[in-house]
Amino acid sequence: MSLSVSLRHGFGDFALDLGFDAPQGITVLFGRSGSGKTTIINAVAGLLTPDSGRVVLDDRVLTDTKTGLNLPPNKRNLGYIFQEGRLFPHMTVRHNLLYGSALADRSRTGPGLDQVLELLGIAGLLDRRPTALSGGEKQRVAIGRALLAKPRLLLADEPLAALDEARKSEILPFFERLRDEVSIPVLYVSHSAAEVARLATTVIAIQDGRILRQGPAIEVLSDPMVTPAGVRAAGAVLEARVAVHHPDGLTELDAGGQAIFLPRIDRDIGARLRVRIAAQDVILSKHEPEGLSALNILPAEVEQIRAGEGPGTLVSLRTPAGSVLARVTQRSAGNLGLAPGARCFAVLKSVAVAPQDVG
């Protein structure tokens, strides 16, 4: 599958002008609110007609303003998961779930009701009405409803943004299972770096209606020049394997041969996972520190330095574990003599990594 999008659209003094291809897996449109992400996803869904543009899914042209072709939403075979769920209030969960599947092309294969109920853990909710569901349950039903329409492509517009942290961590694993177990490609809109880090196969970083950078998540997130959600939210992603669960409550990860100690992670030995290291949780040291409480000290080489408008800089570092971003002051960067190619040590407190940044 491949989705190919090129769009130009203006409203007020905002102009969207971009193009991208989304490969298999979860492609995240990553940017601040107001950057144009929802406009893009609505144009793909057919809910918005762009001033000019072309949307092609596999070999099927969905929108082409040159030829005047613009399929209505119901002819596009897409599943759309909205931020607010948008369950039909006058129907039970069962009827909500089956609304799209009754209309889906019978020749297409897709997950069945039993599979979706199991995947999302919503078998017990079938006879309830949406008003009797919690926020997390509603969103799970909305995901199931979209899946059961046998879509060629799933669209998700900030599906977790309206939920609190606990509910978020309840839903995130379902998207991970979706990515890993159901072979439906997903176009996912988010402004949350943590979600991007955990879910994205491909990241398309968007700012003010334009693409800053697109590529594999690991590469885009470790680029100090690309911070669509602001430098405070910057952070690189390491790919690691669970190595040892230590009896003192720490889990040892193996990231490219480098040991990383984090608070206990409930995953089996050998499980692969991603760890997001927030740039502002990383301390840099010119010499290998001794007598330090922080457990993770990684030898590093400076790749790139981006000076911000304020007193801060964003430094990207190459370590045995992968690329790491660090946010330090310009003064420190000067004192340490940081420059591309310079060697230093990156220090990370184990407890600084939040549970939602691991998965």
Q: Does 86 interact with another protein (rule: CB under 8 A)? A: yes
Count of residues touching another protein (by CB under 8 A): 30
Q: Which of 56, 61, 104, 182 binds another protein (CB under 8 A)?
A: 104
Q: How far is the CB of 329 from another protein (least distance, A)?
A: 45
Instruction: Identify the residue among 13, 59, 66, 90 touching another protein (CB under 8 A).
Output: 90
Phi and psi based region of residue 337 (left: phi greater than 0; alpha: psi -120 to 50; beta: remaining): left
Q: Establish if 355 lies at the interface with another protein (CB under 8 A).
A: no
Q: Is 74 in the site for another protein (CB under 8 A)?
A: yes
Q: Give the one residue of 12, 72, 257, 270 binding another protein; rule: CB under 8 A.
A: 72
For the chain, the C-alpha Rg in angstroms (whole number) is 22
By CB under 8 A, residue 261 contacts another protein? no
Of residues 100 and 209, the one with the C-beta less far from another protein: 100
SS (H, E, C) 55-113: EEECCEEEEECCCCEECCHHHCCEEEECCCCCCCCCCCHHHHHHHHHCCCCCCCCCCCH
- Report d(CA 51, CA 198) in Å as an integer: 34
Q: How far apart are alpha carbons 324 and 300 in whole angstroms?
A: 9
Provide the residue type at 52 as one letter: S
Consecutive H or E run containing 327: strand 322-329
Q: Residues 136 to 165: which contact another protein by CB under 8 A? A: 145-146, 149, 155
On the 0-12 / 13-18 / 19+ scale of CB atoms within 10 A, 67 is: exposed
* Segment interacting with another protein (CB under 8 A) among 8-16, 17-25, 39-47, 278-286: 39-47
Interacting residue ranges for another protein, rule: CB under 8 A: 45-47, 72-74, 76-80, 82, 84, 86, 88-91, 99-100, 103-104, 129-132, 145-146, 149, 155
